[in-house]
Structure 1
Amino acid sequence: MALDSARMQILVPIDGSDCSFRALEFAADMAPRYDASLHVVHVTDSRNDATEDIVERARDVLDTHEVEDDPAVHTDVSLDFRPSNRIGKDVLTLVEEEGYDHVVMGHHGSGAVERAILGSVTETVMDAKRVPVTVIP
């Protein structure tokens, strides 16, 4: 995907959760205010019916907000015990490779035990401090 370097580029990673779709709604409202381009990605270990449902739901949000983008699916077969750390790294790789200026992400607000075991994609991206991140609960 070739990004327009003259416009702000916003990336919205989605995982199918309600908070990720709240982040997408927020970003769809935000993008026109900044004359920004909005790009949506879903990171998964395999493309299946659930993936297609997530992509279709994202298309519906984009269509409602008249945003011209087709949600992308990034497949990473190396997702393992701590998939959120891997997904966070995949998001950061996309930020660097594609030149995104801003990331808008949802956050589940999980507890300390869940974060210690599973990690958090949002925390991985924020902790890297490579790009501004807006977190939507």
Structure 2
Amino acid sequence: MTEASTAGEVVLYDARGEIRMRGYMSRFEAELNAKRTGFFYLFARASETEQYVSAGKIVSRPQMALQLVDMTLKGVPADATLIIEGIEYIADGSDIELNFSLPGEYEVVIDLWPYRSEVMHVENRTQK
């Protein structure tokens, strides 16, 4: 078997399964890149934003079951990071009451591995 016949789409991923790099390469190149980066490799096509590697297979990253009810954010898992107005908060798993001092639209980013990162746009219509 020649080197060219083993070339294909490759993902390089870390110990938790996060896809860190993608490319088209031979097995030799994949092994070399894995050794240089400390990552693992898998011949597969994948999206780093929508998938990850689990037990040597590409699987979909789950979505969080988030709901915004009035100004209360429900369904945020414990240990998720929220970024609101540039400040990071860590969720404890309970409902989150959003309060803003000025009216306007605000962006709330919610991130927790292996869930897909979520961005919510929240409109604060009343000034407190």
TM band (smaller chain): under 0.3
Q: Which has the larger radius of gyration?
A: 2
Higher relative contact order (CA 8 A, sep 6+): 1
Higher helix proportion, which one? Answer: 1
TM-score by length of 1: 0.22
Higher strand proportion, which one? Answer: 2
TM-score by length of 2: 0.23
